[in-house]
Structure 1
Amino acid sequence: MHYRTDYCAARLNEAPQVLHLGELHLHYQAYACRSHDPRPPVLLLGGAFQSFRSFANEVSELLGEHPVILLDLPSQGSNLQLVPHVSLEQLADLIAAFAIELNLPPLMPIGLSYGSALAALFAARHPERCARLLLAGITAFGRPGARLLLQEGLALLAEGRSEAFAHGALTSLLNPLRQEQIGVAPVFRKALLRQIQRLSATDIERYQQNSQRLLNFRGFNRHPSCPTLVLAGEYDHFTQPWEHAHFAAACDQASCALIHNADHLAQFEQRQACASLYNPFLCGEPLPMRSTGSSLLAHNQLLQLEKRHETRLPPSQRHARLQHADGGEWPVEVNQLGFFGGLLRGDLPQMLGTRGWQLLCRDLPAQPVLPLRQDSQGLAFVFSHSEQQASQALAAQFQPQQRPLPTAACA
């Protein structure tokens, strides 16, 4: 590998190098302090709506200690190649093929969100090629509620409802109930919303293919065996802290750190807290149980984290109606209500499909809901948050609530 030694943030806007592996194209940039560096390189793998430019600060912080490679696999980042036939596992294998082709030493991937699934699969499937592994925003998508929201987003895009999709996606990425703690500026939220609303036809197709890959993924049949650090935003509802901790518990040598005052975009919201862990972990140094902006979970805590990630409260108005687009309407009692979902009771039909449902409460605009499961306890549902005004009105009811979480399992 020949590394560039002239890194500056502006370089990330330049055309990448392209490696052709058969019909597949891999885009990358590689930097180090010297052109031939034998040390294990850090490999940056981003998530949806991210490009090389997203990692300008990380590259600057890491270059003093490590070579750094930014990689866009097909349909990732700025790589526009569409590969609907390629699975998540096959994309992870491409990372190994990339390392072999360029004669790289064992890699140290940092995988974020969608990139975390690719990095973790690479480490699990090619342990000889992975020296250390750092993950944030685990996207294994085993939680039914997360899968349902992802499917709803794909359905909205298929219908051409880009604004509804964008509002739902933004709510998943940035927890509206924790804006004050997280400190995300309104201008950043607006910019991200605008970016999602204005996705090109190719961007939408890439997002659909990548999301379908995640939905098709059946889970890990083996987990990474190398030293692994998992970072979880403490307010991340999309990929929840307990999911990060369970993943860490399944690995041979993993630790899990909670990043305080962060949600799914922890590495951007609390950049310094995350960056303070990068180099110590990648250099093999012991991590402190507490550092500025983060806490390391003890091993015996990994399987003990609370799974309910939000407060569920009896609503001020229990009586409501559940309505379907086909015309059916049923009286229900709202047994539990949270910003992300709730529980209804009533004489309801067996649910046929998850789409087209609205919850009509007296003190709220009609709320689009997705039925999750129906049993003797009632009908559990999640809010899609695809309607901006309805979502904002619901959030207003929960902003003042800072009560302890209940012990019930989450949707």
Structure 2
Amino acid sequence: MPYCTDYNPGRLNDAPEVLQLGPWRLHYQAYARHADDRRNPVLLLGGAFQSFRSFASEVEELLAEHPVILLDLPSQGGNLQLAPELSLEQLADLIAAFADELRLPPLMPIGLSYGSALAALFAARHPERCARVLLAGITAFGRPGARLLLQEGLALLAEGQTEAFAHGALTGLLNPLRLAQTGVSPVFRKALLRQIQRLSPGDVERYRQNSQRLLAFTGFRCHPASPTLVLAGEHDHFTQPWEHAQFAAACAHAHCALIHNADHLAQFEQRAACARLYNPFLRGDDLPLLSPGSQLLAPEQLLTLDKRHEPRRPPAQRQARLRHADGGEWKVELCELGYFGGLLAAELPGQLPPRGWQLLIAGQPALPLLPLRQDPGQLAFVLPHSEPQSSLALAALLQPAAACA
């Protein structure tokens, strides 16, 4: 395929090329140092709330050694075409059809967040089309707490509660208790929050469709056979390090690197640390066990990482109340409490409603709560962080020095 050879960051704002495959429109831009470059191209697949402009630094970095293609499938990035009938697997197959139509050599996809599921499925389903694959913020595992938060976000959007949705989504992307370590500035947080708050009706529908695809995904029947590198932010709560490590363990030839001082947006928060791994991996070089800002996990660590991602301890004030919007209220004892969830003891009715709950702790704003698992006399729960003031108060209660504005 012919590549553009005059890349500069401003070009990412240009109208994309459009490839029509049956009823589907695929948007792309393609850059290289030479118009007829025959080397394996890097394919960039972004996540929610990302566009081609999100990858300005990556394109500049990668172009020194590889052709680079940015691709928006239907309902992704700047591609406004809705595709409710397409599954994750079918979208991954569209990547293969894209490569076939343009007669591309085997691709090297880099998938971030939602894009990681598509890149991984493409690599697994079309091994002849994939030279190697790099994944960060791996999704689509179906961890019960993560599924619950996705479902709550969709419910808030359906109710028109955009502010509540935006605050919860931001907490999933940027771990508020780790801002000092990740270096995320208040300006960046506010800009991302505004972006999510200002989603158009079309953006909301595309987010809904993409989230429904993740919720409908039943898991990987096979994993990539090509060389694979998985990058995990050590403070990522939404897609946790142990999930990345287990995915790497299931692949035929995979490494998993822990990116220090990063959460779900590791490639943006710690660009230099991630970039030090990109090109060596894409060249096929051996990766160092230790690199500035990252650590390669040993094979024996992949299945042994701790699944408890945050400390949860009995709070100083253990007595609380649990209230439902329908009017019921129960005395409870807090056995464990963390920023993202906890465990309480109480005699509660069976078959609890899935939504409408608040946790009432003396001296604290009412804290929205989602029941996760009910056992006799106990309730495990997650916190959706849809109310910013209650989230701030909880952060101050648990970790005063880390409470964020």
Same fold, judged at TM 0.5 (above): yes
Contact 2:120 2:133 in 1 (8 A): yes
Alignment-derived partner of residue 322 in structure 1: 322
| 1:268-307 paired onto structure 2 within 5 Å | 268-307=268-307
> Are residues 1:308 and 2:308 paired?
yes
Q: Secondary structure at the match of 2:312?
A: coil
* Residue 231 (structure 2) aligns with: 231
Give the C-alpha shift of residue 352 in structure 1: 2.6
| Cα deviations by residue, 1:247-301 (Å, 9 ceiling, x for unpaired) | 0000000000000000000000000000110000000000000000000000000
Contact 1:324/1:357 (<8 A) preserved: yes
Tell me the CA shift for residue 313 of structure 1.
Answer: 1.1
Per-residue CA deviation, residues 304-342 of structure 1 (Å, 9 max, x unaligned), is 000000010111111111110011111110000000000
- What residue in structure 2 maps to residue 129 of structure 1? 129
Residue 175 of structure 2: aligned partner: 175
Amino acid at match of 2:250: A
Residue by residue, what CA displacement relative to the aligned partner does 1:58-86 show, whole Å, maximum 9, x if unpaired? 00000010000000000000000001111
Q: Tell me which residue corresponds to 1:91.
A: 91
User: Are 2:331 and 2:346, in contact at CA under 8 Å, matched by a contact in 1?
Assistant: yes
Residue aligning to 2:26: 26
Q: Give the SS at the match of 2:99.
A: helix
1:119: which partner in 2?
119
1:179-258 correspondence to structure 2 within 5 Å: 179-258=179-258
User: 1: distance between equivalents of 2:311 and 2:83?
Assistant: 41
Matches of 1:42 and 1:377, distance apart in 2: 53
In the alignment, the residues of structure 2 paired with residue 341 and residue 154 of structure 1 have an alpha-carbon distance, to the nearest angstrom, of: 19
Map Cα deviations across residues 149-185 of structure 1 (whole Å, 9 max, x no partner).
0000000000000000000000000000001011100
Q: Deviations over 1:377-397 (max 9, x none)?
A: 610000010001001111112
Structure-2 change in CA distance of 1:351 and 1:334 (3 Å): farther
Matched residues in 2 for 1:195 and 1:143: separation? 27
Task: List alignment gaps of at least 5 residues for structure 1.
Answer: 403-411
C-alpha contact (below 8 Å) 1:141/1:147 kept by paired residues:
no
Normalised to the residue count of structure 2, the TM-score between the two structures is 0.98
Cα distance, 1:399 vs structure 2? 2.4
Name the CA distance, whole Å, in 2 between partners of 1:377 and 1:44.
48
- Contact 2:117–2:139 (8 Å) recurs in 1: yes
- What is the RMSD computed on CA atoms of the aligned residues? 1.0
Give the Cα separation in 2 of the matches to 1:401 and 1:391: 14
| Counterpart contact for 1:177–1:395, Cα < 8 Å | yes
Q: Which amino acid aligns with 1:172?
A: G
List alignment gaps of at least 5 residues for structure 2.
none
Ranges of 4+ aligned residues in structure 1 off by more than 3 Å? none
Question: Residue type of the partner of 2:192?
Answer: L
Within 2, Cα distance between the matches of 1:400 and 1:331?
A: 26
| Deviation of the 1:398 alpha carbon | 2.3
- Higher mean Cα deviation, 343-352 or 206-215? 343-352
- Determine helix, strand or coil for the equivalent of 1:334: strand
Instruction: Report the number of matched residues.
Output: 402
CA distance in 1, matches of 2:341, 2:351: 17
Other structure's SS at 1:365 match: coil
Aligned to 1:331, the other structure's residue is in SS state: strand
CA deviation map 1:350-372 (0-9, x unaligned): 13331000101113110000000
Could you say what secondary structure the match of 1:30 adopts?
strand
Q: Which amino acid aligns with 1:189?
A: R
1:157 maps to 2:160: no
Query: Helix, strand or coil for the counterpart of 1:59?
Result: helix
Alignment of 1:329-408 (within 5 A): 329-376=329-376, 378-400=378-400
Tell me the equivalent position of 2:81: 81
Q: Give the percent of matched residue pairs that are identical in Structure 1 and Structure 2.
A: 76
Normalised to the residue count of structure 1, the TM-score between the two structures is 0.97
Secondary structure of 2:267 counterpart: helix
Mapped contact 1:46–1:115 kept (Cα < 8 A): yes
- Structure 1 CA distance for aligned equivalents of residues 251 and 222 of structure 2: 8
Structure 1 CA distance, aligned partners of 2:278 and 2:239? 20
CA contact (8 A) 1:177 1:398 kept: no
Distance in 2 (CA, whole Å) between partners of 1:347 and 1:110 is: 48
Residue 53, structure 1, aligned to residue 35, structure 2: no
Query: C-alpha distance in 2, partners of 1:353/1:150?
Result: 17
| 2:11 alignment partner in structure 1 | 11
SS, match of residue 135 in structure 1: strand
CA contact (8 A) 2:348 2:377 kept: no
For the Cα contact (< 8 Å) 2:339–2:394, is it kept in 1? yes
Q: Give the Cα–Cα distance (whole angstroms) in 2 for the partners of residues 374 and 222 of structure 1.
A: 33
AA in 2 matched with 1:37: D
